[in-house]
Structure 1
Amino acid sequence: AHFANQNSVDNPETDLMINGIGTLKVLQYAQLAGVKRLVYSSSGCGVYGLESKMPFEVHDVSISLHTPYQVTKLLGELYTNYFHNLYGLPIVNARFFNVFGPGEVPGKYRNVIPNFMYWSMNSLPLPITGDGTETRDWTYVDDIINGLLAMGIKEEAVGEAINLGSGEEQRVIDMANMVNKITGNESGIVYMERRDWDVKNRLLSSIDKAKRLLEYKPQMKFEDGLEKVHEWFVDNQDDIQKSAEF
């Protein structure tokens, strides 16, 4: 569950200004400044559609999308490709899959893992939209960073779109149970109606291209990553309580 999607549904014009016009302005300035490399933060959760085959290969993008966030993320890739093709701007399109890790505060439009961790630590039941069998390709932030650093130096990456994921599926229900186990929360899970735009039952990246071009190899096991998120929440609990807005 990526709450940038919900934010874009609620505020489509703002989403277009930030992810659309904002990206275009960055590319214009990058071209004028003659930057040596621009890595665009695209979304593997956004540019692949229902008709895309699993695991998602980089060539299998969709133009039948379900949220403004998905539309503007694909628009950003079209603009980066345009600047690369016309001006020779050295770009790389990084397609992130469900990034998580320490440092992300919970909130209304935040990602599901920090929200679940927050609710679980406050002894609240975890709300699952759907039946919990939906899968996501959660990827630890340090693995994403390693992929991005490689994109910044590998010549083979220029002009390419590359998935950065874990290459593994995790069910939402299993993730929720792991979070409750880590925190000792006995309030369990509640099931809620699926959101209208949330139509993807499964998300799984193919990271073969990243392995080939970037020597990319995810290191963090999913449950170990959740443990690190929990440790960060424990260490910063007072600040998190003050800043969390739902």
Structure 2
Amino acid sequence: MNILVTGGTGFIGRWVVKRLIEDNHNVWILDNLSNSSMDNIKEFQVNYPKIFFIKGSITNLPLLETLFTNKFDICYHLAASINVQDSIDNPKTTFENDVIGTFNLLEQCRHSNTKFVYMSTCMVYSRALDEEGISENHSTCPTSPYAAAKLAGEQLALSFYYAYGLPVTILRPFNTYGPYQKQNSEGGVISIFINKKLMNKPLKVYGSGKQTRDFLYVTDCANFVVAAGYSSRTEGKVLNAGSGSDISITDLAKMIAGEDGSIKYIPHIHPQSEIKKLLCNSKLAEKTLCWKPEVSLAEGITKTEEFLKNKLLLEGI
């Protein structure tokens, strides 16, 4: 197939692209590189002739019109402004990228009848109320402009499904981590903690550390995203993906730091947007896609630490 991945040089996008080229598709990547690097896809460009990179923005309509002459079968839309604090400081930029940019892509997909797979976020939810976890029917409560923009993008996409019959799928993965995640991104707590440990620095925990997260290893996330695009059973649906287990940030810090590690508690940078308990219920994804996560948290942390160790060695740190 001909497949477009927006945000394809980003953390999750890079792994989605990897899966798609392993399946021998023609893959176009659209990314403005504002929050990513060409280094993430360098190995693919060297070894795989069916990958095409375009530097540009989803807010650039003439560029999108030219790009969509390639007649894509699927558009995996991962490009977004993803930083919560940035969205609080400058909501206009987040709105323009995550809402208007999404609308621009939907219009192109509508005219070319391209399946649209929209990467949303677990941040649209309110806190988990029990150990059953958060299902797709759980109440939403966007506590930041980022979450609100993602929720608006979801509703726009679903409106194109109902109004025009455009094949649309909405994905809400929980806290994804693993190799190639940036160590200065507020959402990448595992990579940040591991990097601090390797640099012999204290692991900084925001707030009390009692807040919990459900961590999903990036290859499991990428398999979920790609499978959702392949299947017609996902059309018109919202699907969660997570491990089904949550852990407090304090316990996570202790797990990574080990007995000799140092943990430091600091004031939260945006406590008003903190979700106290995130625990995923992925039963619908399991039923619809026969998908289940394969990498445990302990195994994923080990893989991520090995990657970051090698990265530091290459950088001579």
Structure 1: 5+ residue runs without aligned partners? none
- Is 1:61 the counterpart of 2:135? The answer is no
Larger displacement relative to structure 2 (46-55 or 136-145): 46-55
Residue 191 of structure 1 is matched in structure 2 by 265
- Aligned AA for 2:292? K
Residue 215 of structure 1 is matched in structure 2 by 290
- Is 1:106 the counterpart of 2:180? The answer is no
Tell me how far 1:109 sits from its aligned partner. Answer: 4.4
Q: Distance in 1 between matches of 2:257 and 2:91?
A: 34
User: What's the TM-score, normalizing by structure 2?
Assistant: 0.69
**Partner SS for 1:14:** helix
Q: Distance in 1 between matches of 2:200 and 2:188?
A: 19
For the aligned residue pairs, the C-alpha RMSD in angstroms reads 2.1
Q: Distance in 1 between matches of 2:303 and 2:128?
A: 35
Alpha-carbon displacement from aligned partner over 1:150-172 (angstroms, at most 9, x marks no partner): 21122211110000111111121
- Is 1:39 the counterpart of 2:114? The answer is no
Alpha-carbon displacement from aligned partner over 1:4-47 (angstroms, at most 9, x marks no partner): 21221122111111111111111111111221x21100001x21
User: What does 1:112-131 correspond to in 2, within 5 Å?
Assistant: 112-131=189-208
**Partner SS for 1:197:** helix
Aligned residues: 234
Greater relative CO (CA pairs within 8 A, separation 6+): 1
Residue 152 of structure 2 is matched in structure 1 by 75
Residue 96 of structure 2 is matched in structure 1 by 17
- Aligned AA for 2:197? S
* CA pair 108-217 structure 1, distance change in 2 beyond 3 A: closer
Q: Distance in 1 between matches of 2:295 and 2:158?
A: 31
* CA pair 226-50 structure 1, distance change in 2 beyond 3 A: closer
Q: Distance in 1 between matches of 2:228 and 2:261?
A: 43
User: What does 1:82-161 correspond to in 2, within 5 Å?
Assistant: 82-109=159-186, 111-161=188-238
More strand by share: 2
- Counterpart contact for 1:105–1:240, Cα < 8 Å: no
Q: Distance in 1 between matches of 2:307 and 2:252?
A: 18
**Partner SS for 1:72:** helix
- Is 1:227 the counterpart of 2:227? The answer is no
User: What's the TM-score, normalizing by structure 1?
Assistant: 0.88
* CA pair 238-139 structure 1, distance change in 2 beyond 3 A: same
